[in-house]
Structure formats: structure tokens, C-alpha cells
Amino acid sequence: MRKYWNSFTDVIFKTPMATHTVKDDHEKQQQDSHVGSKDENIDRGNWTNKKEYMLSMIGYAVGLGNVWRFPYLAYKNGGGAFLIPYVIMLAVAGIPLFFLESSFGQFCSQGPVNVWRALPIFQGVGVAMVLVSTLVGIYYNVIIAYSLYYMFASFQSPLPWSDCFYWSNSNCSLTPREVCNITPAANWSEPVFAANMTLWENETCPKENIIRIPVQSPSEQYWDLVALQRSSGLDETGPVVWHLALCLLLGWLLIAAALYRGIKSSGKVVYFTATFPYVVLLILLIRGVTLEGARDGIGFYIGSQSNLTKLGEAEVWRDAATQIFYSLSIAWGGVTALSSYNKFHNNVFKDALTVCLTNCGTSVFAGFAIFSILGHMAHVYGKPVSEVAQAGFGLAFIAYPDALSKLPISPLWSILFFFMLLTLGLDSQFAGIEVISTCLQDAFPDTFKSKRSIISVGTCAILFLLGLLCVTQAGIYWVTLMDQFCAGFVLLIAALLELVGVVYFYGGNRFIKDIEMMIGTRSSLFWLWWRACWFFITPAVITVILVWSLLTFRPPSYGTVQYPAWGVALGWCMIAFCLIWIPLVAVWKILCAQGNPWQRMCAVCSPVEGWGPYLEVHRGERYAGGQRYYRKNSLHLPDNVYHISNNFTRL
């Protein structure tokens, strides 16, 4: 245990990293299943080819939010007009952050924790990212379990949520229920139910006297009573819902199998999981536009109902920035982890631009497929599209399944839709678990270097056990709680600190020179935009989103169910658990440094000895010999602290 503890502290609390050289040891490569014979980095391995990296990145960035959140936001915020702030926020926040993170990971070939050997005082930011990915991984796979369950339930005709079957209660109805609130006459009965506005003896109830009785659709009751077996609130945990637990287990088995050999195996899986959703979306779009009412749905989404006056509302811009930020999976650690397996001279700029544009294009494309069928559903029910359009769980597991049940051969469309959700979720989970595996491998390189399968299987097993709470009868409340707190403030704070650390402490100009070591020298005009974003625009955008989110914070709720005070407090504790490592690691680094307080601060605010490209062949003159560099003109230090010993933080 002492050996493992020392290895862990080497990553979190120890500053140096040995300079690595290229080795030609084919026998060693064969022992390490995650390393290929053509890899330039035989310690960590590389992507087999560029396609696998790009598909993995696209699969990571394109997730469930592209299908169940963006279309609703576009409809809600002015339709086609919403694309204006959306594209602007992509340019000033999304692409700059994605480019920064992928460049950071590729330059040093390290995960989200070890990259901060460039700036030890900020290494807690990497720890926070790993913890967020862990917590998100717990509940995100529960959503995959929901998709698996619905996919399996779709193998029957008629679909079980197409009508009020034996599992429903008296509040289930396919049509609205109304009563006529009038004084009964001799030929009236009380109460009087108005079906299609007609009462017996051909009497018609005046519109002002009609009272609508709240009812639930079959798809809504199936979701609550059958799939979730939902309890009354977070206080009532209830037993484990075993069909969801088995689907959760299956989901983790799929992920463990795909990650058995790390990126070497997951890179093969993404050939299918990253491309299949586009096939399904295209099929659904073609089917949707042929349905009656599809024009109305698309019109509400992004067509004739576009409202340019919405651009004057600040909330529209906030929604656009938030959607860009979360849909690109920024500050989760996954972008850094996946790019760390690139070859050093890979064109990271071109890749970042391609992934970001593909992600946003997918969001727009998915909206047409979703709203064309929702328009048909509104036509069947005789309702406006605004009454059937939903976001999140309401869209994926209530509104859209209901719409699909109205189509001919409805089981086929339902199977395709939920299989698409499954593949979208799996891609994102691959990268999330890769974050954990990469950091563990960096922490214990000698122990886990040839045991990648143990890391993957062990991580999946532990997260499966932790996720069982989310498949109890109160599971949906836990999923909603974790989603609102874990995937919110922590990511904004981590992204802001990441920018501040790289640009203002490490040095934005130095970071640009690091990137040019990988992609070649670029003109000052090329870097003008990125400097403007990294130094000023992007930090300002994140700060505004963070402050606004805090000021407009509302306690979480699920439908009409409010969370108890202890549940909200627990959510804030999750945030604190992730963020507390940022000051703790910073303080520890300062305490372990030598010298007076000023010298200690200078030491932890500068790269450690050995920082730079992972392989000696790529270090060049700037990082030759693995010596420690300070930014020119940023610090004025005495000669005796210019080179700092590499053992002053050993426990």
C-alpha cells in the first residue's frame, strides 16, 4: 500500500516528471495490449489512426443533449433566430475552449491531472474535472439503462405505451376529459362529461362553462408507473427497480467490453456508435417530413415561426452560451484525455474546428427529425405544437415515444430511436470512463501500464454499484439532482480557472509557441482571434454565465415534485466535494515547496522540471534537458531558485 500511495502522491503532490525517450522495445509493446507496433509513444500508446480519434471526439461531443435539449431551446428562443446567438457563442466560447483543451493534452501527452504539471498550483482543477466525470458517469449510464429498457419494450406490437392498458390507472386517457359546469336542468345529469363538446340530447355546453379535468397520456403513465415505478419524492427511496438494474448492468458491461483495451478497442467500436445516430436521424427525418402536420412542426422549430425580437432578450444569449458550453463537453477532462493519445505533430487546430462544427450541425439537423414527428403528433391530437414540445426526459421518454406510437410499424421506429439514444450515450460514456482510466494509469504507471483491462473493468464495476441508488423508485430524483448540480457550477468554475491558469499564469504567448511546436508556425494574424478570445472574450462570457446562473438559481424539482431542503443541501455538498480539491492541492503545493513565501509561490506558479513534450525527440531547444523554465519578464528571481530540485515535495 505504501508503494501505491507514493505513486499517487507523485501525480497529485509531487512536481517532477521524468524526461522520456523513444524506445525501440517490440517485446514490451506486445506485452502492453494498449500499445501498437506503429505507436510513437510506447509508454501510453496512440490512436491507431486519425479516423478513430475523430470519431471518438465526435461521439464524445455529440450526445443526448444534441437531440433532446437543443431543438427545444431553438423553438423556445425564437426558432431560426436562435441560431444567431448560438453561432456567435460557438465562435467566442466553444471553439476557443475546445482548441485550448485539446492542444493542452496533445502537447504533453498527459491526462487532465498531469497536464497541470505546467502549473502545479492549479493541479486541483484537473482533480475536480476527474471527480465531475466520475459523478456524471454514475447517473449518465442510468439514462443509457432507460434507453435499453425502452428499446427492449419496443419489441412488441402494439407498443405498451400506445394505449391505457392493464398497468394504467383511472387517470389515464388518450383524449381530454371535460365537464360542463352549469346548473342541471331536468334533462341534464350531474356531473356532465363533454366528449367532443357534445352532451346527450344534443345539448352543447357553453365554452365558458367547460372545465378540463387533468389526465395523463399513456406514455406519461408508462414512464412513471412501469419504467420508473416512481415514488412520491426523494424522501421515499423504495426498493431497487430490478428491470432497470439489469439494464444498468448491461450498459456497464457494454462499456467495459468496449474499453477493455483502452483506446485500441473503443476506437474500433466508435466506427459504429458514432455514425449510426446519423443514419437513424436521417431515416426519422425522411419519415417525418412525409407525415401530415410535419410542416407545422418544422415551422415552429426553425421556420416561419422564427422571432427575431427574441434576440433582444438576455436569456436567449445565456441559453445559447450554456448549450454550446455543455454540448461540447468542455471542462469534463475528456477532451484533454482523448487528445493526449494523439501523435505530437497532429493538426489539433483542424481537428478541434471539425469536431465543434460537426457537433453544432448535428444539433440543428436533429431538430428537424424531432419536430417533424412532433408536428404530426400535434396534428393527430388537434393541439398546437407548443403543447407537445418538451425537453429532456419529457421529450425522450414521453412525448417522442407517444408520437412514434401513432406511426405505422411503430415498433420499428421506436427500436431505431432508442437504439440511437443508446449509441449516443455510449460514445459519451467511453470518453468519461477514459478520463478516469487515463488518470489512474498516469498515477500508477508501473502497476497499470500493462493492466488496462483491469482499470476499465474495475472502474465500471464500482460505478455500477454506486449507480444502484439511481435505479430505485426514487432514482429519477437522484438523477435530476446530480445532473443539475454536478454538471453545472463545477464545470463553469473549472473552465474559468483553466483559462486563467493557462493564459495568465503559464502564459498565453508561451502556450501559443507550444502549439506551434505541434502544428507549425502561424502568422500573428492567425493568432489574433485566439488571443482575443483566450485573454478577454471567453473568460468574460464564462464569468457572465456563472454569475447569472448563481443569481437565477432555483432549487431543483421534477415536474411538480419539490426537493426537500436536505436534498438541495446534498447537491451543494457535491459541488463542494469537487471544488474543495482546488484550494487543498494549491495549499499543499505551497507547503511542500522550499524557500521563503515568495519563492514558494514562484515555484508552484511555474512548470515543474521535465515539463514539456512527453518524448525527448519532440522537446526541441525550448525544452531540451528537461530543465525548468520561468516566463521571461514575469518573475525576477535570484539565481539560487532558478533551478529547483525535483524532490522537495516527496512525502
Q: What residues form the annotated binding site for Na(+)?
A: 59, 61-62, 66, 327, 359, 424, 427-428
455 neighbors 441 (Cβ within 8 angstroms): yes
Report the C-alpha gap between 612 and 259 in whole angstroms: 28
Report the C-alpha gap between 24 and 405 in whole angstroms: 59
DSSP letters, 383-429, are: --GGGT---THHIIIIIHHHHHTTSTTHHHHHHHHHHHHHHHHHHHH
Residues near 207 by beta carbon (within 8 Å), at least 6 away in sequence: none
Residues in the chain: 651
Sign, CA dihedral 558-325-505-349, equals: positive
Q: b vs e for 557-595, b when ≥16 Cβ sit within 10 Å of the residue's Cβ?
A: ebeeeebeeebbebbeebbeebbebbeebbebbbebbeb
Report the C-alpha gap between 124 and 122 in whole angstroms: 5
Binding residues: 59, 61-62, 66, 327, 359, 424, 427-428
Q: Could you tell me which of 103, 521, 22, 123 has the C-alpha nearest to residue 342?
A: 103
Residues near 560 by beta carbon (within 8 Å), at least 6 away in sequence: none
Q: 346 — alpha (psi -120 to 50), left (phi > 0) or beta?
A: beta
57 neighbors 348 (Cβ within 8 angstroms): no
For 515, the enclosing helix (H) or strand (E) is helix 508-519
Q: What cell numbers appear for 568 in the block?
A: 438541495
90 neighbors 325 (Cβ within 8 angstroms): no
DSSP 195: B
